């Protein structure tokens, strides 16, 4: 008998028919003798529609009210799923984030989980019930409803799996697992059987939206094994776990595309110590996440600072830069919302020189201009114009032969590939800082390895 946490995303519960199919899947697991928990997202498009409604009401909706609104999406789908199971004659119970004790900090719209008190989950499982939990939502210590960022049901599932000691956390979506590129962009992308947390973290951080980055980080910190698989087939998906010697280590795991960021530039700031600290310090105070950074210095004692930030943080970032532009007598603030980030991820970059050169040559042959570049030990990211980005992804996928069999590292040196993972497992009861373990990514106001 296994204890399984499953998670079904929006498309998997997108209609009453889909919800019935999920109910059948859960019932089959239960009748096979397993204890089953299902974490569910809002029905497809509901979160987007609620967001649009909010913006019809108010240009900048108060964040507390936004979370109040968005959390209702998941409440609909958990109740419908529990009803679908009841209609089949089995016992299920649904819980909101606050009912299952997902306690978060007070940062509305991207709250971090501080603790999970899953007692009611354990009790309901003990009574033989199928437990259904609303993804994406939590509650602060003083009772305010929060949400966990887009795609946040993934982290709800991983956090519950960790709290109740589940054998595996199965994340179901409309693809069969993690592919070498988004199969919607690259039709010959290949499904990957196993990935280390480290590789998955880089893929997720650089745009592979199939798993939310913070959920992978939480899984790594707490040793939760993730199985990414399809709601629409029984095929084995991709296992994400700690790297070990038996794991096939591809030189390049995949290519990703991220169109969710914007580039901001503050032109003509004084070139003197403390200016970057001031700019990124003010951004951090407003909880603006910063990814890549570039500073160009002219010989006239002035500099231009450019950085990328999630579109969701753009309004706040713009306010901060406009204020600083006046304070620092800067020339102007520029915003480019049409950028894309294309990244190549692979643990083999550590030991195989020349990957960056090959990447840049392939992009040059496709006439793709690079605006910014950043790297981690196992990732190279380039910012380019959004219009050329899909072509860039396909060019890189071809260049590195990713549609064919994986080119693997012959023998994994002991300990190699496991670095950066597992080290902080013990005693971790909460989510780490955003971007922790992923250089140059998501640190509020932090510097990004440009």
Give me the residues that bind ligand ADP (CB under 6 A), please: 9-12, 41, 151, 173-175, 178-179, 181-184, 208-210, 254
Given the rule CB under 5 A, which of 3-11, 31-39, 69-77, 271-279 is the region that contacts Mg ion? 3-11
Using CB under 6 A as the binding rule, whether residue 14 contacts ligand ASP is answered as no
Question: Backbone phi, then psi, for 8, in 5-degree steps?
Answer: -115, 125
Among 97, 118, 138, 151, which residue sits at the site for ligand ASP (rule: CB under 6 A)?
151
Q: Is 51 helix (H, G, I), strand (E, B) or coil?
A: helix
Among 61, 73, 177, 437, which residue sits at the site for ligand ASP (rule: CB under 6 A)?
73
CB half-sphere exposure, 306, CA atoms < 13 A:
17
Given the rule CB under 6 A, which of 83-91, 115-123, 146-154, 187-195 is the region that contacts ligand ASP? 146-154
Q: Which of residues 33-52 bind ligand ASP (CB under 6 A)?
A: 41-42, 47
By C-beta, is 153 or 381 nearer to ligand ASP?
Answer: 153
| Residue 395 interface partner, choices Mg ion, ligand ADP, ligand ASP, none, CB cut-off 5-8 Å depending on type | none
Q: Which of residues 117-176 bind Mg ion (CB under 5 A)?
A: 151
By C-beta, is 70 or 389 nearer to ligand ASP?
Answer: 70
Give CA–CA dist 42/146, Å, rounded. 15
3, 43, 218, 1: which is closest to 116 by C-alpha? 218
The contact mask relative to Mg ion for 96-115 (x = CB under 5 A, - = no) is --------------------
Give CA–CA dist 450/445, Å, rounded. 14
Q: In the bound complex, what is the minimum distance in angstroms from residue 150's beta carbon to Mg ion? A: 8
Q: In the bound complex, what is the minimum distance in angstroms from residue 175's beta carbon to ligand ADP? A: 4
The contact mask relative to Mg ion for 209-248 (x = CB under 5 A, - = no) is ----------------------------------------
Using CB under 6 A as the binding rule, whether residue 25 contacts ligand ASP is answered as no
| Residue 202 interface partner, choices ligand ADP, Mg ion, ligand ASP, none, CB cut-off 5-8 Å depending on type | none
By C-beta, is 198 or 282 nearer to ligand ADP?
Answer: 198
Using CB under 6 A as the binding rule, whether residue 138 contacts ligand ASP is answered as no
Across 211-222, b (16+ Cβ under 10 Å) vs e yields bbbbbbbbbbbb
Across 347-356, b (16+ Cβ under 10 Å) vs e yields bbbbeeeebe
| Residue 313 interface partner, choices ligand ASP, ligand ADP, Mg ion, none, CB cut-off 5-8 Å depending on type | none
Which strands, in side-by-side order, build the sheet including 3-8?
92-95, 130-134, 35-40, 3-8, 168-173, 226-230, 238-241, 194-196
User: Are residues 434 and 312 in contact, defined by beta-carbon separation less than 8 angstroms?
Assistant: no
Q: In the bound complex, what is the minimum distance in angstroms from residue 86's beta carbon to ligand ADP? A: 24
User: Are residues 211 and 158 in contact, defined by beta-carbon separation less than 8 angstroms?
Assistant: no
Report angle CA 93, 103, 45 to the nearest 5 degrees: 60
By C-beta, is 149 or 420 nearer to Mg ion?
Answer: 149
Nearest residue to ligand ADP, scored by beta-carbon proximity: 9
| Residue 140 interface partner, choices ligand ADP, Mg ion, ligand ASP, none, CB cut-off 5-8 Å depending on type | none
- What DSSP assignment string belongs to 229-273? EETT-----EEEE---TTS--BS--EEEEE-SEEEEEEEEEE-ST
Distance of CA 21 to the CA centre of its chain: 26
Whole-angstrom CA distances from 211 to 98, 164, 177, 242, 360 are 23, 21, 10, 16, 27
By C-beta, is 82 or 255 nearer to ligand ADP?
Answer: 255
| Residue 42 interface partner, choices Mg ion, ligand ASP, ligand ADP, none, CB cut-off 5-8 Å depending on type | ligand ASP
| Residue 280 interface partner, choices Mg ion, ligand ASP, ligand ADP, none, CB cut-off 5-8 Å depending on type | none
Give CA–CA dist 370/363, Å, rounded. 8
By C-beta, is 283 or 389 nearer to ligand ADP?
Answer: 389
- Exposure of 207 by Cβ count < 10 A (0-12 exposed, 13-18 middle, 19+ buried)? buried
Applying CB under 5 A, what is the total number of residues that bind Mg ion? 2
Binding stretches for ligand ASP (CB under 6 A): 9-10, 41-42, 47, 73, 135-136, 150-154
Binding stretches for Mg ion (CB under 5 A): 9, 151
């Amino acid at each position: 008998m296994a204890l399984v946490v499953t998670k079904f995303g929006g498309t998997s519960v997108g209609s009453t028919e889909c919800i019935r199919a999920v109910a059948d899947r859960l019932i089959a697991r239960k009748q096979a003798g397993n204890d089953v928990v299902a974490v569910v997202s809002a029905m497809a498009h509901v979160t987007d529609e609620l967001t649009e409604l909010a913006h019809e009401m108010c240009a900048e909706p108060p964040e507390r009210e936004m979370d109040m609104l968005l959390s209702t999406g998941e409440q609909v789908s958990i109740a419908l799923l529990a009803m679908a199971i009841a209609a089949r004659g089995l016992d299920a119970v649904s819980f909101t984030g606050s009912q299952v004790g997902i306690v978060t900090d007070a940062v509305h719209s991207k709250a971090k989980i501080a603790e999970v008190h899953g007692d009611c989950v354990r009790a309901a499982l003990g009574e033989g019930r199928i437990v259904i939990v609303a993804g994406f939502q939590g509650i602060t210590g003083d009772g305010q409803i929060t949400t966990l960022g887009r795609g946040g049901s993934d982290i709800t599932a991983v956090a519950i799996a960790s709290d109740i000691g589940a054998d595996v956390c199965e994340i179901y979506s409309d693809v069969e697992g993690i592919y070498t590129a988004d199969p919607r962009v690259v039709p010959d992308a290949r499904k990957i059987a196993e990935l280390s947390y480290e590789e998955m973290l880089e893929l997720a951080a650089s745009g592979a939206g199939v798993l939310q980055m913070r959920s992978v980080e939480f899984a790594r910190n707490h040793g939760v094994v993730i199985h990414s698989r399809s709601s629409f087939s029984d095929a084995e998906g991709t296992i994400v776990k700690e790297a070990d010697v038996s794991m096939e280590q591809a030189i390049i795991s995949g290519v990703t595309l991220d169109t969710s960021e914007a580039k901001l530039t503050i032109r003509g700031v004084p070139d003197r110590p403390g200016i970057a600290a001031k700019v990124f310090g003010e951004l951090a105070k407003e909880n603006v996440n910063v990814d890549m950074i570039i500073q160009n210095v002219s010989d006239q004692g002035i500099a231009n600072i450019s950085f990328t930030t999630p579109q969701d943080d753009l309004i706040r970032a713009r306010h901060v830069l406009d204020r600083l532009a006046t304070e620092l007598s800067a020339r102007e603030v520029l915003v480019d919302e049409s950028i894309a980030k294309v990244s190549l991820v692979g643990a083999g970059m550590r030991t195989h020189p020349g990957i960056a050169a090959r990447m840049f040559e392939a992009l040059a042959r496709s006439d793709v201009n690079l605006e910014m570049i950043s790297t981690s030990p196992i990732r190279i990211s380039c910012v380019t114009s959004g219009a050329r980005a899909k072509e860039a992804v396909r060019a890189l996928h071809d260049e590195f032969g990713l549609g064919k069999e994986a080119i693997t590292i012959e023998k994994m040196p002991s300990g190699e590939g496991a670095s950066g993972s597992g080290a902080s497992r013990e005693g971790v009861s909460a989510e780490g800082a955003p971007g922790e373990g992923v250089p140059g990514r998501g640190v509020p106001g932090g510097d990004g390895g440009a």
